[in-house]
Amino acid sequence: MAKYTAPVQSKIGQIIDVIVLLIMAIGALYIPLWLGMAGSSKEPVAIENPTWEALGQNPAMVGQWEKLGFSDPAAAAEMITARFDYSFSISSLIVMIVVIVGYYAILLRFSEKEYCDVIAEKFGE
In the range 30-59, which residues lie near other proteins by CB under 8 A?
30-33, 37-42, 56-59
Among the listed residues 48, 90, 91, 92, the single contact to other proteins using CB under 8 A: 92
CB of 72 to other proteins, least distance (A): 14
CB of 49 to other proteins, least distance (A): 19
Among the listed residues 50, 64, 71, 94, the single contact to other proteins using CB under 8 A: 64
Q: Residue 50 burial (CB < 10 Å; 0-12/13-18/19+)? A: buried
Chain centre to alpha carbon of residue 37 = 11
CB of 54 to other proteins, least distance (A): 14
Q: What sections of 48-89 are H helices per DSSP?
A: 59-67, 73-81
Tell me how many helices (H) and strands (E) the chain has: 4, 2
The amino acid occupying position 117 is D
Distance of alpha carbon 63 from alpha carbon 73, whole angstroms:
12
Among the listed residues 46, 48, 49, 67, the single contact to other proteins using CB under 8 A: 67
Among the listed residues 24, 49, 90, 91, the single contact to other proteins using CB under 8 A: 24
Rg (CA), the chain: 27
Which residues, numbered 3-22, are part of the site for other proteins (CB under 8 A)? 3-7, 9, 11, 14-15, 17-18, 20-22
